[in-house]
Amino acid sequence: MLCSNPHVQTIMPSLLRKVSGINYQRERIDTPDGDFLDLDWSKVGSGRLAIVLHGMEGDSGRHYVLGMVKALHRGGWDAVALNFRGCSGQSNRKARFYHSGDTQDLHTTVSHIIAQNNYSDMTLIGFSLGGNVILKYLGEQARNLHPLIKKAATFSVPCDLRACEVKITKSGGGIYLKRFLRLLHKKIKMKMQVMPGSIDDKGYNHIKALKDFDDRYTAPLHGFRDALDYYEKSSCGPYLGKISIPTLLVNSVDDPFLAESAYPVQEARASAHLVLEVTDFGGHVGFLAFNGSGEYWSESRAVAFLND
């Protein structure tokens, strides 16, 4: 990683990076509550599968997902990218959508894939919000995790949601905050069209922080008392000590989204399974590398960890 500017690391790939050679095949599966999930498959004929989870307001077509899928193919893995509810280009059926602590949809995806009996080895890879979901899931499922899931790798994970919300709101994260709120507003507008009367955006312009959005929408739509209750119950931090498979967590010191408590040094030292790597540079889901292959450092690191 040669670029030491965290905002360049964070923004430039999203604006400029193009990843070619990935042609997804979409599968839609039903959820137990009557909704659906869209899974985007990219196969190379392997008996090993990686399930890839995107970050907040991302999807399977984001550069970091496509780059990881391409690197996984190089490493001998099939890949499937899970689009969280409402993130696949179509509004989901329910008023609820997705959030940082929603592990049920990941479990539904894992169970569906395992039932097909096509793979002998599976792994989980997640970015940002998707990484939080994976780490929380691994902690929740520690004693019941299916034995096919052998490893996991996560990047730029906000392990303490409340502290990271404060960081992005008050510590120079304005450009990112405005983008998130704009994208989330589009989600609300989509829902207003497909289920009029169940949700509205009256006064949305008064929302100036993620906590405001989570108080108004995320918490009530997903059964939380308020935003603080949502942050407390959805952060992966308290679950890290329960993880029972080799799991990589990479967070960069210069990440503009992450508070100090998002670097779980003590938890990693006390764990036989959690491998924490704190890089000097990388921004948020950046980890650029300038090389002939076009593969980013995070992608090479994930494949090396999974294949070790």
Confidence of residue 1 (pLDDT cuts 50, 70, 90): very low
Amino acid at 119: Y
What is the tens place of the pLDDT at every residue in 154-206? 999 999 999 999 999 886 557 899 999 999 999 999 999 888 888 999 999 99
Can you spell out the DSSP letters for 134-174? HHHHHHHTTTT--TTEEEEEEES--SSHHHHHHHHHHSS-H
Q: What pLDDT does 3 receive?
A: 63
Q: What pLDDT does 291 receive?
A: 80
Query: What is the radius of gyration, based on Cα positions, of the chain?
Result: 18
Q: How do the domains of the chain map onto residue ranges?
A: 6-160+239-307
- Comparing CA positions, the residue from 283, 86, 260 lying closest to residue 185 is 86
Burial of 294 (0-12, 13-18, 19+ CB in 10 A): middle
- Across the range 107-131, mean pLDDT stands at 97
Q: Dihedral, CA atoms, 133, 139, 140, 143, nearest 10 degrees? A: 140
Q: What pLDDT does 42 receive?
A: 98
Q: What pLDDT does 4 receive?
A: 66
CA–CA dist 293, 274 (Å, integer)? 29
Q: How far is CA 163 from CA 35, 174, 210, 260, 276, in A?
A: 32, 16, 12, 8, 19
CATH fold group of domain 6-160+239-307: Rossmann fold (3.40.50)
pTM score, whole prediction = 0.95
Amino acid at 81: A
